[in-house]
Structure 1
Amino acid sequence: MTVLVVSGTGTEVGKTVATAAVAAVAVADGRSVAVLKPAQTGLAPGERGDAEEAVRLSGAAAWHELARYPEPLAPATAARRAGLPPVRPADVAETAEKLATEYDLVLVEGAGGLLVRLDDDGGTLADVAGMLSARVLVVAPAGLGTLNATELTTRELGRRGLTPAGVLVGTWPARPGLAARCNVTDLPTVTGVPLVGAVPEGAGGWPPAVFRAGARKWLAPELGGTWRVEALPWADE
């Protein structure tokens, strides 16, 4: 695995922290890692973006952004409203391929969900993954509503002939409710894709050293970790 695309089922599902966890485990295993964020929205110049945050938490070697837009909107809309050039999937793929010649692992973190538009021609993160023939890690929330969005995302990957790297719960609560506990069983059932980890709620706010020390326990062996579903904290404990 040289390039891994990280997509959410929507916004605010824990993609950046999940990306950082994957990077932290790879770094601990002696691999050089770069994090690529094709389009960062909702931040002004100088503010720390998702890719930089993933590097701060994980200790990865480098981060890259191709574009930044001030309004917190889909990249195509944010670019149009700002009067700035959009990010094209071909440019993202070309950058990822170049980084892959310099680093052992390149993590491409999307904006929102798989089909969020990067440009007004309809280019998406799914197109980027197709150009790279890269596997896609799907980051999903734990609770109510996640089954539909996650199944739609994995179905679209299958329709395009893309391979999921698994479904990762981006934020697992310390005291999960009934829906979250049921979803541990239901997510693999409805998607046909294995659950490959869960990041504890609030982990993104931990000191980097603590984050890195814990990351391997949050990821399944498919991602270099030691996570087992049985190790999840449950509401009745």
Structure 2
Amino acid sequence: MTVLVVTGTGTEIGKTVTTAAVAAVALAAGRSVAVLKPAQTGVAPGEAGDVAEVTRLAGPVTGLELARYPEPLAPATAARRAGLAPVLPSEIAEAAEKLAAAHDLVLVEGAGGLLVRFDDAGATLADAARLLGAPVLVVAPAGLGTLNSAALTGEALRTRGLTQEGVVVGSLPAEPGLAERCNLTDLPTVAEAPLLGAVPEGAGVLAPDVFRARAASWLAPRLGGTRRG
């Protein structure tokens, strides 16, 4: 794949760290990588955002933000409250295509879940994925509630004719409980897509060299990793 869209079943579930892991594995394989963040919310001008975090953890990627809004809200709401222009799916697709022309892999990291609105007309990351014809990787939490949200996200992708690349658990506890262990088995069934990895809880605070050395073990071969089962 040239462009991979990364979304979540919600917020604060490890989407950025998962994006960094995919980028790190691709870089280790000698591929050039770009990371596109269409709308960065909750970060003030001059502060490090998600693209900077991916770069810190993964290594030398080309990073691009299309818009930044200071309040930690859905992009459409944050743009409206800040009096700034929203990001349109066509702008996301155009930026990703330009990056794809010069890179082996472009990772488009959304904000929150698949259907979070980018503008008041209801445009979402799914619309950008459709314009790109790109597969979508879904990052999900490990614990209770994840099966329902993963099923809903998978259904939303299928009804829009989009391809779900698979599911990655964004933050797996070092000692998973019963729910977490069962969810690793059940997620592929309810999402109707393969489980393509499990990033350990706390991976984002690892030293960058350790993160890069371990990233392949968290991801399945389909994402360039070595994880089995």
TM-score under structure 1 length normalisation: 0.95
CA drift at 1:102: 1.1
- Distance in structure 1 (CA, Å) of the matches to 2:74 and 2:61: 28
Q: Which amino acid letter does the alignment assign opposite residue 44 of structure 1?
A: A
Residues 21 and 215 in structure 1, CA contact (< 8 A), matched pair in contact too: yes
SS of 1:19's equivalent in the other structure is helix
CA drift at 1:61: 2.3
SS of 2:53's equivalent in the other structure is helix
SS of 1:31's equivalent in the other structure is coil
Aligned residue for 1:202? 202
Matched length: 229
- Distance in structure 2 (CA, Å) of the matches to 1:164 and 1:104: 20
Aligned residue for 1:180? 180
SS of 1:11's equivalent in the other structure is coil
Residues 34 and 60 in structure 1, CA contact (< 8 A), matched pair in contact too: no
Q: Which amino acid letter does the alignment assign opposite residue 133 of structure 2?
A: S
SS of 1:213's equivalent in the other structure is helix
Output aligned runs, 1:70-219, within 5 Å. Answer: 70-219=70-219
- Distance in structure 1 (CA, Å) of the matches to 2:3 and 2:219: 17
- Distance in structure 2 (CA, Å) of the matches to 1:131 and 1:81: 27
- Distance in structure 1 (CA, Å) of the matches to 2:60 and 2:141: 25
SS of 1:63's equivalent in the other structure is strand
Aligned residue for 1:51? 51
- Distance in structure 1 (CA, Å) of the matches to 2:77 and 2:150: 24
What CA deviation, in whole Å up to 9, does each residue of 1:212-235 have, x standing for no partner?
Answer: 000000000110111123xxxxxx
What CA deviation, in whole Å up to 9, does each residue of 1:46-103 have, x standing for no partner?
Answer: 1110011111110132111000000000000000000000111100000000000111
Q: Which amino acid letter does the alignment assign opposite residue 70 of structure 1?
A: P
Residues 140 and 169 in structure 1, CA contact (< 8 A), matched pair in contact too: yes
What CA deviation, in whole Å up to 9, does each residue of 1:166-209 have, x standing for no partner?
Answer: 00000010011111111011111112211000001100011111
Aligned residue for 1:24? 24
- Distance in structure 2 (CA, Å) of the matches to 1:106 and 1:194: 21
Which sections of structure 2, spanning at least 5 residues, go unmatched? none
SS of 2:112's equivalent in the other structure is strand
Aligned residue for 1:234? none
Output aligned runs, 1:59-74, within 5 Å. Answer: 59-74=59-74
- Distance in structure 2 (CA, Å) of the matches to 1:223 and 1:141: 19
Aligned residue for 2:227? 227
Over aligned residues, Cα RMSD in angstroms? 0.7
User: Residues 60 and 164 of structure 1: is their aligned pair in 2 closer, same or farther, counting only changes over 3 Å?
Assistant: farther
- Distance in structure 2 (CA, Å) of the matches to 1:132 and 1:60: 24
Deviating 4+ runs (over 4 angstroms):
none
Residues 130 and 162 in structure 1, CA contact (< 8 A), matched pair in contact too: yes
Q: Which amino acid letter does the alignment assign opposite residue 144 of structure 2?
A: L
Identity, % of aligned positions: 72
Residues 34 and 63 in structure 1, CA contact (< 8 A), matched pair in contact too: yes
Residues 24 and 60 in structure 1, CA contact (< 8 A), matched pair in contact too: no
- Distance in structure 2 (CA, Å) of the matches to 1:60 and 1:128: 25
